[in-house]
Amino acid sequence: MFPKNAWYVACTPGEIDDKPLGRTVCNERIVFYRGPEGRVAALEDWCPHRGAPLSLGRVVEGKLVCGYHGLEMGCDGRTVAMPGQRVRGLPPIRAYPAVERHGFVWVWPGNAAKADEALIPHLHWADHPEWAYGGGLYHVKADYRLMIDNLMDLTHETYVHATSIGQPEIDETPCTTKVVGDEAITSRFMHDIPAPPFWRMALRANGLPDDQKVDRWQICRFTPPSHVMIEVGVALAGHGGVEAPKDKKAYSIVVDFITPETETSMWYFWGMARNFRPDDRALTAQIRDGQGKIFAEDLEILERQQANLLHWKGREMLKLNIDTGGVQARKVIERLVAAERGAAAA
């Protein structure tokens, strides 16, 4: 279950710089490539001649050339040419709205007439000189909503990430959840606690002592179709927590773009944007590597959880207080999907 009339992160620009990329988004098999003047293009991954995947071909002067018989496609989905054949009358294949922005390639897998580039979320950190970003991509064999559940309930950190960001104080501190329009927000604020290993490293990197008590915060924001931005950080205790001055805290945004591939698999674009020492590339790499290991710890849990759900079909998962953020996010998704289906039926 996923809304299609929405912008999803499909890939990073570097993935299509040298050759076409075939990727399934919301059950749509799509080929991404750079057309004339290097602009991003997205088509059905289907050659209208014999059905071969166009992603197995190459790009020549902005045209996508099928790797089977050399048929050339334009960015609008129409056949341009083919050696020794007249093919201009072939029916076009589907073209998808695609935009390169904020360091990602976005695709709209639904009704192209409804695609509005103004709906692509604004990422204030993406082009700001005081912020640095590093991230990666995982393919996960699980329903994308399980990842949303995971990110909207960070109590699992105490158990899954015990050696990096987890600590008992997360369990001991209640969280609050609210819904504002289509946004679900879950917050947890911890006061006068020791910093876990990852945040001790971040404090040192920001020139702060790592042996003092801190105030820690986690503010998880879900926005449709499947984006979760998490404001996280620690400040030296007694300086205002999340509102502490910049020289008293280490503050970041955990970036999570969760793109459904099928009903039981996803593309997970993860990363961290930080606003301290933005020019330190070595620090960016260190944080990215550490964060990658943390997220990798989630993968086995989610994939085995998915396997259990498939084995025990129809068996209900329990809902506890800590699940409220994920529950509210799912309600937003269900509402959007129902609206799409209603419009299609009408």
Q: Which CATH number do you get for residue 81?
A: 2.102.10.10
Question: What's the confidence (pLDDT) of residue 249?
Answer: 93
User: Residue 276's closest CA among 172, 177, 199?
Assistant: 199
Residues 105 and 152 in one domain: no
Please, which residues bridge with residue 85 across strands?
A: 82
**68 vs 52: CA distance, rounded Å:** 7
**20 vs 31: CA distance, rounded Å:** 6
Residues 177 and 205 in one domain: yes
User: What angle do the packed helices 197-205 and 281-311 form, to 10 degrees?
Assistant: 160
What are 110's two structure tokens?
């639904």
Q: Residue 125: inside a domain, yes or no? A: no
Residues 51 and 195 in one domain: no
Residues 188 and 279 in one domain: yes
Give the DSSP letter of residue 33: E
What are 211's two structure tokens?
């042996």
> Measuring CA to CA, how many Å separate 94 from each of 29, 41, 161?
11, 11, 43
Task: Work out whether the CA dihedral 9, 108, 70, 38 comes out positive or negative.
Answer: negative
Over residues 247-299, the pLDDT tens digits come to 999 999 999 999 999 999 999 999 999 988 899 999 999 989 988 888 888 89
Q: Residue 126: inside a domain, yes or no? A: no
**152 vs 185: CA distance, rounded Å:** 8
Residue range of the domain that includes 90 = 8-119
Residue 345: band (very low, low, confident or very high) from pLDDT cuts 50, 70, 90: confident
User: Residue 133's closest CA among 247, 245, 279, 16?
Assistant: 279
For the chain, the average pLDDT equals 93
Residues 236 and 334 in one domain: yes
The residue out of 68, 94, 119 marking a domain boundary is 119
Domain total in the chain: 2
In this predicted structure, which of 22-36, 81-95, 209-223 has the lowest mean pLDDT?
Answer: 81-95
Q: Residue 73: inside a domain, yes or no? A: yes
Q: Residue 98: inside a domain, yes or no? A: yes
Residues 224 and 286 in one domain: yes
User: Residue 9's closest CA among 229, 303, 295, 299?
Assistant: 229
Over residues 149-204, the pLDDT tens digits come to 999 988 887 777 777 888 888 888 889 999 999 999 999 999 999 999 989 999 99
- How many Å is the Cα radius of gyration of the chain? 22
Please, which residues bridge with residue 134 across strands?
A: 272
| Cβ neighbours for 13, distance < 8 A, ≥ 6 positions apart | 40, 100, 103, 104, 105
Average pLDDT for residues 127-143, to the nearest whole number?
95
Question: pTM of the prediction?
Answer: 0.94
Q: Which CATH number do you get for residue 151?
A: 3.90.380.10
Please report the DSSP string for 173-197 in residue order: S--EEEEETTEEEEEEEEEEEPPPH
Residues 156 and 283 in one domain: yes
Q: Residue 124: inside a domain, yes or no? A: no
Please return the burial class of 312, using the count of CB atoms within 10 Å of its CB with bins 0-12, 13-18 and 19+.
Answer: exposed
Question: What's the confidence (pLDDT) of residue 168?
Answer: 84
